Structure 1
Amino acid sequence: MAWDEWEQLKSQAAERQPDGMRLNQLETSSGSAGSPGSGKYGDLTASQGDLAKIGEHAFDLHGKLWDKGRTAVSSSEKAAGDLTQQGLALGGALQHVATRWEEQLTSLRDACAHISNHMTVSKKLHIDGDHYIGRKLSSIDTLDAGFDERVGAPGQKNPLYGEAADKGKKDD
């Protein structure tokens, strides 16, 4: 691709997207992206159900990779051995492919296990955090309820504290 062709493609793409690139923002009714605090800003959210589903799918994939991903390894290694015994260089190449397949499969299974474990831990941490925040807010409500036992009408100053002009005077 020539430089001129690249520039032409960029300008055509810019014409189709007059606002430019928008990351992590929603389009407003006027067609432009919202700003933080405007109520139109896009937030990333994930519910506990979403995290659980991702973890379950990763766990299932981990198991399926072990069951189905290794079916050709033993036959490939056997064929590689037979070809090598016959003096064919293809035997070494096939053994290399089988070895690399096993390494990549192990790497992919490890990644699936990591994702599954991470979702389980994230779910537990978020639940623990939610419970902690709930306990703290509950204790604030309890404390606040103690201040609602006022003497006098709500919204009025407590007459026990006296007026501002009475402060500093001693009782005789």
Structure 2
Amino acid sequence: MSFEDEWAAAKAAVAMRLNQADSTGGSTPAKGSADYVVEDDDLGDIGHAAYGLFNGLQSGGKHAGAASETAAGSLKGDGFDAGAALGEVNKTWETQVKTLLQACAHISNHLNYTKKSAKADDDWIGAQLRIIGPVAPGAEGAVPASRISQLFR
């Protein structure tokens, strides 16, 4: 099987999987297209949503912490086992909120980085392929897909 045949089969399989996925918005491949495209705006929207969640959770996730700690101390002081349990639940909640905050920050930062670096990567790859130039006499444009795999050996 030639490289072109393998490549076409792989693209068709991926296109079938992507076209069967339930879409809730964002960029989707055009009908019959085998390429999946995520626009910078989509990455920016997701990163912005993660940043918004981070900001809302920073204050919203902690609003009951002081009251829970006070209640736990009062119950524990009155000899109720529920006080120690409430204190433990509050500590676990705080840990989970911190973990979610870190995840939101990571997602936001990663998508911002991805958005900035993807264009630079694409430009570099395009420049490298233009440097290599056409592979056949009289051919125009960049290196065809069938030739790319030979350049990495």
TM-score bracket for this pair, using the shorter chain length: 0.5 to 0.7
Count of residue correspondences: 111
Aligned counterpart for 2:19 among listed residues 6, 18, 26:
26
Is 1:56–2:48 an aligned residue pair?
A: yes
Aligned counterpart for 2:73 among listed residues 81, 104, 108:
81
Residues 23, 134 of structure 1: alpha-carbon distance in 2 compared, 3 angstrom cutoff: closer
- Equivalents in 2 of 1:49, 1:25: separation in Å? 20
- Equivalents in 1 of 2:73, 2:17: separation in Å? 54
Is 1:100–2:127 an aligned residue pair?
A: no
Q: What residue is the counterpart of 1:127 in the other structure?
A: 119
Greater share of helix:
2
- Equivalents in 2 of 1:85, 1:127: separation in Å? 60
* Aligned sequence identity (%): 36
Q: What residue is the counterpart of 1:11 in the other structure?
A: none
Give a deviation string over 1:6-38, Cα, whole Å, max 9, x none.
xxxxxxxxxxxxxxxx961537xxxxxxxxxxx
- What is the CA-CA distance between 1:127 and the residue it aligns to? 1.6
Question: Quick check: 69-78 or 39-48, which moved more?
Answer: 39-48
* Matched-pair contact (CA < 8 Å) for 1:69–1:105: yes
TM-score, normalised to structure 2, is: 0.62
In structure 1, the gaps of 5 or more residues are 1-21, 28-38, 148-172
* Matched-pair contact (CA < 8 Å) for 1:77–1:95: yes
- Equivalents in 1 of 2:43, 2:18: separation in Å? 23
- What is the CA-CA distance between 1:135 and the residue it aligns to? 4.0
> Greater RCO between the two (CA within 8 Å, min separation 6)?
2
**Rg larger in structure:** 1
Amino acid at match of 1:26: N
Q: What residue is the counterpart of 2:23 in the other structure?
A: none
Give a deviation string over 1:54-77, Cα, whole Å, max 9, x none.
111111111110111100011101
Residues 90, 119 of structure 1: alpha-carbon distance in 2 compared, 3 angstrom cutoff: same
Amino acid at match of 1:85: G
Q: Secondary structure at the match of 2:93?
A: helix
Q: What residue is the counterpart of 1:40 in the other structure?
A: 32
Give the 5 Å matches for 1:62-73. 62-73=54-65
Q: What residue is the counterpart of 1:5 in the other structure?
A: none
How large is the RMSD of aligned CA atoms in angstroms?
2.7
In structure 2, the gaps of 5 or more residues are 1-14, 21-30, 139-153
Q: Secondary structure at the match of 1:113?
A: helix
Amino acid at match of 2:114: S
TM-score, normalised to structure 1, is: 0.56
